[in-house]
């Protein structure tokens, strides 16, 4: 069970997909105009991640290695289609505000990355927790960005007005929304500042002598948790995988 | 004897010109336009200029204190940024917006990219566009003599007659520093005489722009229309004082000309075919982003180096 907790922690803190791995930047920048959108996108992705990791982990000994990517995509696309119909049926407002980004979850690199690097090589239960951890980490990142952008850009959190707006016609003193934060440039500003803050916290913790577990990458030799498919270090993993195929 | 034969590495000849001196000359050259703007628009514009400069200098000082860097406030570049930002603001803007713009210019556009010499776009214009996108209403409200009205450039775009003489002198509505083409040209001549800027960038910029509006402006070679386009909006301010910013313009001679052409075409496109009447600031910051590419294709050939023939025998 300890490994499952480790997987959760890995996804949320150590290898947070938004702030550490920098994966899934397209929805991260595009849909986080409000906290609700960020949360909705994050949770939808979490559901897809958990179910796809579960299914792929179950099928990991059946899927031939050579066609694994198309197989993963078929599985992920089926799950995304189900999630899309559920959202359309039960939360139509969220569905319309997320728009094209729901079907695009199919090609979200976090999901394919976890399928490729974790679920296809590990047992079912840790894979579920891996998906859950990564999904929650993604949700955390998106919701944080959404909250900051919504406060600065509209003075609201989750749609509730927390900063009273200024009104020029009645000369009421209040907050004037900085519109740029709900537009595309604001996403980059907020993301970069949040990543910088995370790095400062990490550096401070390391200086104090109790380092936060850093992203291991391939330096520590743990290729199973690395999402970089283009990494040259992957060759060793391929070599490990090849004899297994022969055995079958 | 030992002095005579002392071998040191270059540079051997040192000039008095340093950043502080150049910035001081730029400030002096901007004074006519600033004083005219304050005289033209009243006391609130003086407050805006002061707040913008203080905000820029203070954010530079505080940021460098926080990140434990040597303070560069004394090189006056933050003062120039603050002054240019203020000249680009409408005279009725709330004071806190000018202060916010100053913080954005220095902290986000300049300091986060490494300070003076490293910024990838003009800080004052970056901040102006930040404010323009964020607070579109206050940033596009231009009042003159207490009456809010369209700028001459907006009138021109709408096809209405404009007073070209007033535009040349500056007694029209607009941002604090852009209205008086005359004062800006006086400042620009001073800068050129001092050798701070040369005519390559502003010259090609203005020439390209004139050619563009003659071709596409829909008025043909109408002198009145051309002069109105040249004196209206931020063209003079942008061409002489912001496009020539050392950090964000190419250093190669051919690159400067290419940069000027880019600016002229973009400004023409934005003004004639764009949705809004003005496009100088967007044209400049967009061309700022092209500078590394422009420099790459215009590196002068060193003496004695023969260019390799393409498709030659191998």
Domain boundaries, chain B: 15-298
Nearest of A197, A195, A138, A137 to residue A12 by alpha carbon: A137
pLDDT at residue A238 greater than cutoff 80: no
Partners of A183 on chain B (C-beta within 8 Å) are 133
Distance CA A147, CA A193 (A): 14
Of residues B108, B130, B135, nearest to A176 (C-beta): B135
Partners of A178 on chain B (C-beta within 8 Å) are 100, 134-135
Contact A179 B136 (CB under 8 A): yes
pLDDT at residue A57 greater than cutoff 90: yes
Residue A36 to chain B, least CA–CA distance (Å) = 22
pLDDT at residue B2 greater than cutoff 80: no
Partners of B108 on chain A (C-beta within 8 Å) are 189
Partners of B135 on chain A (C-beta within 8 Å) are 176, 178-179
Contact B136 A183 (CB under 8 A): no
Residue B65 to chain A, least CA–CA distance (Å) = 17
Distance CA B191, CA A30 (A): 45
Nearest of B236, B125, B89, B214 to residue B170 by alpha carbon: B236
- What is the arithmetic mean of pLDDT over B86-99? 92
Task: Give the 3-state secondary structure of residue A156.
Answer: strand
Nearest of B235, B299, B303 to residue B271 by alpha carbon: B235
pLDDT at residue B264 greater than cutoff 90: yes
- Tell me, what's the pLDDT at A74? 93
Residues of A with CB under 8 A from a CB of B: 176, 178-181, 183, 185, 189
The two tokens of residue A149 are 């952008």
CATH 1.10.3470 for domain B15-298, yes or no, is: no
Distance CA A89, CA A86 (A): 5
Distance CA B153, CA B132 (A): 17
ipTM here:
0.78
Is residue A15 within 8 A of residue A78, CB to CB? The reply is: no
- Tell me, what's the pLDDT at A221? 45
Residues of B with CB under 8 A from a CB of A: 94, 100, 108, 130, 133-136
Burial B112-128, CB ≥16 within 10 A → b, else e: beebbeebbbbbbbbbb
Nearest of B92, B94, B228, B86 to residue B149 by alpha carbon: B92
Task: Give the 3-state secondary structure of residue B17.
Answer: coil
Give pLDDT tens digits for A32-43: 988 999 999 999
pLDDT at residue A236 greater than cutoff 60: no
């Amino acid at each position: 069970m300890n490994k499952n907790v480790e997987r959760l922690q890995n996804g949320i803190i150590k290898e947070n997909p938004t702030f550490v791995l920098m994966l899934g930047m397209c929805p991260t920048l595009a849909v986080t105009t409000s906290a609700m959108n960020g949360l909705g996108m994050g949770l939808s992705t979490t559901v897809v991640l958990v179910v796809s990791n579960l299914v792929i982990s179950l099928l990991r000994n059946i899927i031939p290695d050579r066609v694994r990517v198309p197989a993963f995509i078929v599985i992920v696309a089926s799950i995304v289609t189900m999630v899309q119909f559920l959202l359309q049926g039960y939360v139509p407002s969220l569905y319309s505000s997320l728009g094209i980004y729901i079907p695009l979850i199919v090609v979200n690199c976090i999901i394919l990355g976890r399928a490729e690097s974790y679920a296809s090589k590990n047992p079912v239960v840790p894979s579920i927790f891996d998906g859950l951890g990564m999904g929650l980490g993604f949700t955390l990142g998106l919701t944080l960005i959404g909250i900051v952008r919504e406060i600065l850009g509209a003075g609201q959190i989750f749609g509730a007005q927390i900063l009273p707006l200024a009104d020029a016609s009645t000369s009421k003193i209040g907050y004037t929304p900085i519109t740029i934060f709900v537009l595309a440039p604001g996403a980059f500003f907020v993301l970069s500042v949040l990543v910088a803050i995370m790095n400062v916290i990490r550096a401070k913790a390391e200086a104090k002598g109790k380092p936060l577990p850093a992203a291991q990458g391939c330096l520590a030799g743990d290729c199973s948790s690395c999402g970089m498919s283009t990494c040259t270090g992957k060759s060793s993993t391929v070599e490990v995988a090849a004899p297994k195929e022969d055995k079958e | 004897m030992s002095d005579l034969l002392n071998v040191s590495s270059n540079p051997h000849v040192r000039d008095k010109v340093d950043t502080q001196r150049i910035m001081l000359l730029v400030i002096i050259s901007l004074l006519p336009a600033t004083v005219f703007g304050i005289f033209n628009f009243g006391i609130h514009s003086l407050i805006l200029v002061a707040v913008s400069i203080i905000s820029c200098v203070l954010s530079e000082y505080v940021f460098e204190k926080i990140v434990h860097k040597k303070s560069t406030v004394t090189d006056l570049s933050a003062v120039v940024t603050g002054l240019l930002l203020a000249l680009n603001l409408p005279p009725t803007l709330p004071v806190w917006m000018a202060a916010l713009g100053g913080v954005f210019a220095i902290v986000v556009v300049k300091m986060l990219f490494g300070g003076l010499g490293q910024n990838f776009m003009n800080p004052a214009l970056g901040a102006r566009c930040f404010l323009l996108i964020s607070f579109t209403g206050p940033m596009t409200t231009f009042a003159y003599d207490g009456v809010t009205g369209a700028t001459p450039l907006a009138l021109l775009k709408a096809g209405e007659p404009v007073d070209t003489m007033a535009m040349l002198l500056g007694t029209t509505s607009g941002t604090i520093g852009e209205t008086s083409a005359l004062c800006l040209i006086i400042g620009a001549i001073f800068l050129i005489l001092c050798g701070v800027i040369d005519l390559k960038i502003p010259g090609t910029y203005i020439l390209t722009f004139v050619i563009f509006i003659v071709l596409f402006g829909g008025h043909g070679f109408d002198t009145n229309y051309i002069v109105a386009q040249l004196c209206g909006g931020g063209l003079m301010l942008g061409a002489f004082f912001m496009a020539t910013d050392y950090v964000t313009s190419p250093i190669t001679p051919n690159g400067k000309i290419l940069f000027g052409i880019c600016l002229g075409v973009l400004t023409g496109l934005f003004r004639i075919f764009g949705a809004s009447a003005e496009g100088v600031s967007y044209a400049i910051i967009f061309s700022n982003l092209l500078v590394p590419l422009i420099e790459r294709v215009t590196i002068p050939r060193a003496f004695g180096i023969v260019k390799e023939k393409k498709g030659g025998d191998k």
